[in-house]
Every structure is written in structure tokens, then in C-alpha cells.
Amino acid sequence: MTLSSLLTVGEIIPEMKTMERWPAITEIVDLLVSTQRIEPQYRESVLDALKQREETMSTGIGFGIAIPHASSEHVTEVVAAFGRSPSGIEFDSLDNELVHFIVLFVVPRDQFQVHLRTLAAIAKFLNDRTVREELATAPDAQAILQVFASRGGHR
């Protein structure tokens, strides 16, 4: 499976509206609710799980990347979305830099190994400076998805 298989064009926000961490996470979760990847009645529960994880330590890992993630009993498969912020989002990142790329994912509660593999694959994929440059210059959601597909993003 590839990281691109976790995303569709509808799960990509090429121009995020918010400029702060919590509203950014909410914006992406709301997208997943609107695309029916997360059922509306579980929105708050999923947000709470993401915020609880985020309060342990920021998922802003540096290089303009954040990977908010959590597990939940309210999803039956890995659910993911990607957001891009050309202006940057204050995310309390480990390197104190603004975040330009957010990959948010939620994994079923009982799939710890899948959770770790997904996190590692996303981090490795976005660690490539060329990938980040291509994501930054992609003109729309379709082009962003193509970067994920063409660059492999294998798990």
C-alpha cells in the first residue's frame, strides 16, 4: 500500500484557511467529516483523541511538517487527509518553525503496528526535500495527490 492510497483529491486542502495549530486540526477533521470518512457524531471524540495526543508533544516534527495522529474506535480503517498552508501555521513545532504541510491520520484503536508504520512512512516521505518542494509548488489538490503517487510513498 502507498501513502497516496490513503488520500483522494477530496481529502486534500491545498490552501488551509487557519494559521494556528488547533484550528488547523479542526479544519482537517471537518474535511474528513464532510467527505464521510469520519461520521459526524464522532467528530468531537476524534478531535479529543487528536488533541490529547498533541498535548503530550507537538506533532510538528520540523522542516515545516506536522503529522497529527491518533487512534479511535470510531474508524474501521486508516483515515487520512493532507493540508497545505503556503503562509504557514504556528504549530509549536520542535524546531519552532511554521508548518506548511499537515498529514493528519486516524487509525483504528486496535491497530498499533499500523499506526506506527503509517507514522514512520509519512515522516520518511516528507523528510525528502524534493518531495516538500514539489508539494509546495503543486497548483491544486490533483497535483498534490500526483506528488504522493509519483514519489511512491510506500509503507
Q: Domains of the chain: which residue ranges?
A: 3-150
pLDDT at 141: 96
Residue 79: name the closest of 24, 118, 21 by CA.
Answer: 118
Fold of 3-150: Mannitol-specific EII; Chain A (3.40.930)
Sign of the dihedral defined by the CA atoms of residues 135, 138, 144, 147, in that order: negative
- Its pTM stands at 0.93
Structural contact between residues 103 and 24, judged by C-beta atoms closer than 8 angstroms: no
Which residues of the chain fall short of a pLDDT of 70? 1-2, 152-155
Residue 125: name the closest of 111, 115, 138, 135 by CA.
Answer: 135
Amino acid at site 76? T
Q: Which residues are catalytic?
A: 69
